[in-house]
Amino acid sequence: MHLKAALEGKLDELLDKEYQNAAKAVTAGITTNGLKLSLRTQVKAAKLGSSC
């Protein structure tokens, strides 16, 4: 048995779109972690966090 596959459309455009989506996701993740760290620091400085 032989299996053949073919791509439809432009592979370079598809890969570029996927790359852009991945870059946005990484940027969002980094930004979220920075915000979380900043808020955590503020809460600890105000002595509002738990002492654990």
Task: Output the DSSP codes for the chain.
Answer: --------S-HHHHHHHHHHHHHHHHHHHHHHHHHHHHHHHHHHHTT-S---
Query: Which pLDDT score is estimated for 39?
Result: 87
What pLDDT is stored for residue 51 in this prediction? Answer: 58
**4-52 pLDDT tens trace:** 888 788 999 999 999 999 999 988 888 788 888 888 899 999 988 775 4
The pLDDT of residue 34 is 82
The structure's pTM equals: 0.51
